[in-house]
Copies of this chain bind each other. A is one copy, B any other.
Amino acid sequence: MSSIRDVARKANVAACTVSRVLNGTANVSPETRMRIEQAMKELNYIPNELARGMFKQKAGIIAMLVPSIRHPYFSSLAKYIEDALYQNGYKLMLCSTGDDVEREKEYLKILKSNIVDGVIMGTNSQEPEAYEHFGKPLVMLDYYVSDKVPVVVSDHAQGGFLAAQEFIKSGCKYVLHIGSEAETERVLSYESHRVLQKTLEEKGIRARELDIKWNTFDYDGYLELSKLILEKYPEIDGIMAADMPASAFLKAAVQIGKKIPEDICVVSYDGTFVSNTNILEVTTIHQPMEKIGHTSVEVLLKLLKGEELEKTYMKFPVQIKPGQTTRAHQINI
């Protein structure tokens, strides 16, 4: 690899003159410029971004941590974020922790080392302090740390409410909703379960939350779980779960001969393409992934510029897409 000095030597100028041509920071006589450009071509010169970044004290890279990039929710989000970053001259470094606490910790450690300029956090297995005192611009997704740490999130209370309405209109009597074991008050998506439960109970409808531990993205595991649920709770006539487990449940229910939506209503939560690629149109609560992705980047860019944030809590409405797995809307195709 040839350096800027090699070019300078070949063109009979000083290194800084080459730099000036490169960045257009000052006037260079057309003649000198020509000579330098010629030399750059001949040597096949490519500026060293590492050295550049070192000088400017920035790398031009933003990291995003996700539990698993395979997961459609995060891969979609990553796409929107990547697009937005690219528009602004940043590259995305994607870090998939595999739901491993240690691995997230290690990544956070590495990321402090000037290798990235900021971080978008799709994981949250650490203590809140780890995010609060990160030392670099950071945006949380779906997880509340403190009023000082910006967080971008869907209106999960609305999501829970819309789902509840759907079950109510469908005439359900006993609804199961599948949540995650690790959920604390900080995990904002938990709100959907809370509101769903409350809204149904107010109408005198039985509702029950089932918290499971799913540290892997494992469809067969969801399928097994669904079979167990159908055995253990034969009287349920409604279920809400994230896209992937909801899809598995649907499959398991059909396999044992349940009629959808006559016997059981299914509401899918998230709205990734998994909820869309089924033969049946699945009734789905859609999170505004594109909005969330764009906003995260917007906020991060502000932080990078040193601008103040007007607010650190950014919440966006969800949407319900009625389908063939609930009885509230009678849609015939």
Contact = CB atoms under 8 A, between A and B. Distances in A.
A91 B79 contact: no
A33 to B, nearest CB: 21
Nearest to A53: B50
Interface string A49-78: 111011000011100000011101001101
Contacts of A276: 219
A140 to B, nearest CB: 20
Given A115-B50, A247-B277, A83 B98 contact: yes
A96 interface: yes
A250 B273 contact: no
B50 A114 contact: yes
Given A79-B68, A280-B279, A92 B94 contact: yes
Interface string A145-176: 00000000000000000000000000000000
Given A46-B112, A46-B113, A50-B115, A75 B70 contact: yes
Contacts of A279: 250-251, 254, 278-280
Interface string A90-112: 01111110100001000001101
A113 B47 contact: yes
Contact of A248 (B59, B277, B333): B277
Interface string A288-318: 0000000000000000000000000000000
A229 interface: no
Contacts of A250: 279
B91 A93 contact: yes
A86 interface: yes
Contact of A49 (B110, B244, B277, B278): B110
Number of copies of chain A assembled together: 2
A228 B69 CA distance: 34
Interface string A206-226: 000000000000010000000
A147 to B, nearest CB: 23
Given A75-B75, A92-B94, A219 B273 contact: yes
Contacts of A110: 49, 91
Contacts of A86: 103
Given A92-B93, A93-B91, A93-B94, A113 B49 contact: yes
Given A69-B69, A92-B93, 8 more contacts: A50-B59, A68-B79, A70-B75, A92-B95, A93-B94, A274-B277, A277-B278, A279-B280
29 contacts: A1-B114, A48-B54, A49-B110, A50-B113, A50-B115, A51-B114, A69-B78, A69-B82, A69-B94, A75-B75, A78-B96, A82-B96, A91-B93, A91-B110, A92-B94, A92-B96, A93-B94, A94-B94, A219-B273, A219-B276, A219-B277, A244-B277, A247-B277, A250-B279, A251-B277, A251-B279, A277-B277, A279-B279, A279-B280
